[in-house]
Amino acid sequence: MLTLLKLLKDGRFHSGQALGAALGVSRSAVWKQLQQLEAELGLSIHKVRGRGYQLAAPLTLLDPVEIRRMAGACDWPVLVFDSTDSTNAEALRMIEQRQDAPFVVLAERQTAGRGRRGRKWVSPFAENLYYSLVLRIEGGMRQLEGLSLVVGLAVMQALQQIGVPGVGLKWPNDVLVGRKKIAGILLELVGDPADVCHVVLGIGINVNMRMTSEVDQQWTSMRLEAGQAFDRNQLAAELGVMLQKYLERHQVDGFSAIQAEWERNHLWQGRAVSLIAGVNQIDGEVLGIDSQGALRLKVDGVEKVFSGGELSLRLRNDS
Ligand code: ATP
Ligand code: BTN
């Protein structure tokens, strides 16, 4: 089915006969595959008598060679899947099979994209970026401190660099435009964090998505914010460059070297918030983060520090 899509991706007309010949199947088999493309991938295909079939809009698919070419000095191997359950899950399986890190796993779509706390990440075909970078970490905890915040900053910088206005951060690792989520980050770790471990930096960026009924919170995409479509290969390359830059700074100088820059980009600095931890709620005012990336809140006039993957921040109504 995807071979057929690759023949159509130029957005031009292709006759049923030519498509059948290229695939070595009958015209009716081509017709069936076209219907499958529409049903499974949500693509729209025009059929015009005498001319053939045409994708409603040309499609640029992910291309590892293009990404490597545009990423310059960032030479991480890039693997692209047409479809996978989750690029993070795929990366974890590759670690188990002893694939050398660093490497990047991308997919055109995820059938079980995962968000934090077992939530689902909506991942339609060829519209967004689903990106997992695997790093091998030696020498323990210091290199893990604030890591997800560093990734958030790199994602934000990549989006700004490529021309998306108004992007900022929300502790611990959401990337927002205003109140709308444009990207999410999920770190997964295997091995011994105090010794040698592998960490998967999973990043989902809404690139060209314009519609979905599946996301149950406020969201946006690069295209909706900038009013133009973006090349996902260029974004993947830019993201690689930014991740490499920020991860290197983090590795050499530690999170404290990045703390001030992160705070400058925190959209909720000084705001009245509620911190949700399971059934518990703590109300306070955001003071910032500490040198390890933990959240500093003023609660009843006293500074308190919070960290941990299960925490969620919400703006208070009176904020
Ligand atoms: P937090 O709990 O930190 O406040 P959050 O409400 O964004 O953040 P997360 O667990 O970080 O929750 O993210 C998962 C949520 O993201 C899902 O519950 C869903 O509402 C939303 N989501 C899923 N897919 C997308 C997408 N492609 N774009 C934006 N949001 C999405
Ligand atoms: C969140 O905000 O809850 C985190 C979302 C993380 C989504 C990305 S998409 C690439 C990688 N693979 C996954 O299954 N999840 C992450």
pLDDT of residue 245: 96
Ligand closest to Cα of 151 equals: 2
The pLDDT tens digits for 241-300 are 999 999 999 999 999 999 999 999 999 999 999 999 888 899 999 999 999 999 999 999
So what's the architecture of 268-315 in CATH?
Answer: Roll (2.30)
Question: Which residues have C-beta atoms less than 6 Å from ligand 2?
Answer: 86-88, 110, 113-116, 119, 121, 130-132, 184-186, 202-204
pLDDT of residue 194: 82
**Torsion angles phi and psi, residue 254, rounded to 5:** 85, 170
Residue 319: pLDDT band with limits 50, 70, 90: low
The pLDDT tens digits for 184-229 are 999 999 998 888 899 999 999 999 988 877 888 899 999 999 999 9
The pLDDT tens digits for 118-127 are 899 999 999 9
β-bridge pairing 174-177 and 311-315: unpaired
Which residues are the active-site residues? 116, 181, 314
Find the DSSP H helices in 115-192. Answer: 147-162
Task: Report whether 76 contacts 104 (CB < 8 A).
Answer: yes
Q: Give the separation between CA 167 and CA 266, rounded to whole angstroms.
A: 10
Task: Report whether 73 contacts 244 (CB < 8 A).
Answer: yes
Residues ≥6 apart with Cβ < 8 Å to 253: none
pLDDT of residue 278: 84
Compute the chain's Rg from CA coordinates.
22
pLDDT of residue 3: 87
The pLDDT tens digits for 163-186 are 999 999 999 989 999 999 999 999
Q: Is the per-residue pLDDT at 141 higher than 80?
A: no
The pLDDT tens digits for 54-107 are 988 888 899 999 999 999 889 999 999 999 999 999 999 999 999 999 999 999
Find the DSSP H helices in the chain. Answer: 2-8, 16-23, 27-41, 64-70, 87-96, 147-162, 222-226, 232-253, 256-264
Q: Give the separation between CA 86 and CA 107, rounded to whole angstroms.
A: 8
Q: Give the separation between CA 150 and CA 233, rounded to whole angstroms.
A: 22
Domain ranges in the chain are 2-55, 64-263, 268-315
The pLDDT tens digits for 11-34 are 899 998 999 999 999 988 999 989
pLDDT of residue 318: 58
Question: Which residues have C-beta atoms less than 6 Å from ligand 1?
Answer: 115-117, 119, 121-122, 174, 181, 184, 204, 206, 215-217, 219, 312-313
Residue 131: pLDDT band with limits 50, 70, 90: very high
The angle, 0 to 180 degrees and rounded to 10, between the axes of the packed helices 16-23 and 27-41 is 90
pLDDT of residue 183: 98
Residue 300 Cα to ligand 2 midpoint, Å, equals 35
The residue contributing the CA closest to ligand 1 atom 18 is 119
* Reported pTM: 0.93
The residue contributing the CA closest to ligand 1 atom 12 is 116
Q: Which atom of ligand 1 is nearest to the CA of 217?
A: 20
Residue 36: pLDDT band with limits 50, 70, 90: confident
- Pick the more confident residue, 306 or 57: 306
The one-letter amino acid at 130 = Y
Residue 295 to residues 153, 165, 203, 277: CA-CA distances in angstroms? 16, 26, 21, 13
Question: How many CA atoms does the CB half-sphere of 274 hold within 13 Å?
Answer: 10
Topology (CATH level 3) of domain 2-55: Arc Repressor Mutant, subunit A (1.10.10)
Q: Give the separation between CA 137 and CA 177, rounded to whole angstroms.
A: 32
Residue 112 Cα to ligand 1 midpoint, Å, equals 14
Of 157, 176, 171, the C-alpha closest to 263 is 171
pLDDT (average), residues 117-143: 90
Residue 81 Cα to ligand 2 midpoint, Å, equals 16
Q: Is the peptide bond before 165 cis (omega within 30 degrees of 0)?
A: no
Q: Give the separation between CA 56 and CA 54, rounded to whole angstroms.
A: 6
Q: Which atom of ligand 1 is nearest to the CA of 170?
A: 3
* CATH number, span 64-263: 3.30.930.10
Ligand closest to Cα of 187 equals: 2
pLDDT (average), residues 116-137: 94
